Amino acid sequence: TRMPAPFLIALLTVAALAAIVASLSLGSSGLDAPWAGLASGDPLTRTIVLELGYRARSLYELGALDQAAGNLAVAGRRFEDARALRDALLAENPADLESRTHLSQIYACLGEVARLRNDPAGELAWFQRAFELDQALVREHPGDGELVED
């Protein structure tokens, strides 16, 4: 029998979170614990990492929809959850370009939510983080026209 899609998504999410908890509890120094499989091409680890990235992207998109609908509290929580997932991925692989570029977008959205909430200090802090990350990405990848354009 086929597993229903929501059940499969929940199962992958639990597996991904278990991998993060295990890696954090074992002390992380690059690619140790369950993340070591990523370097060796372990399919399960690769699936978990892809699922976390997909979940972060989905939360980001849902946050954008909530923001457009004026539901700033929910949007802020979704952007924070997306940020936490990207931070977890970057803790294990700091060179993950996709997570770094997405994190910059998330920071900018958090800055926009802060602006809409009339929180100038939060707005400045989040946009500053986005700007600094963008600058670092351009310095590290000067030939990448898409990064330079952003």
pLDDT of 47 reads: 80
d(CA 33, CA 11): 20
- What are the percentages of helix, strand and coil residues in the chain, rounded to 5? 80, 0, 20
pLDDT of 46 reads: 75
CA distances to 3, 21, 27, 130 from 93, rounded to whole Å, are 31, 15, 14, 19
CA distances to 96, 141, 142 from 145, rounded to whole Å, are 18, 9, 8
Residue written as token pair 């908890």: 21
pLDDT of 2 reads: 53
pLDDT tens-digit profile, the chain (150 residues): 454 556 656 655 665 555 554 444 444 434 344 445 555 566 777 788 888 899 999 999 999 999 999 999 999 999 999 999 999 999 888 988 999 999 999 999 999 999 999 999 999 999 999 999 999 999 998 887 776 666
Q: Long-range contacts for 115-119 (Cβ within 8 Å, ≥24 apart)?
A: 116/67, 116/72, 117/72, 117/76
pLDDT of 142 reads: 86
Which distant-in-sequence residues (6+ apart) come within 8 Å of 30 by Cβ?
Answer: 92, 93
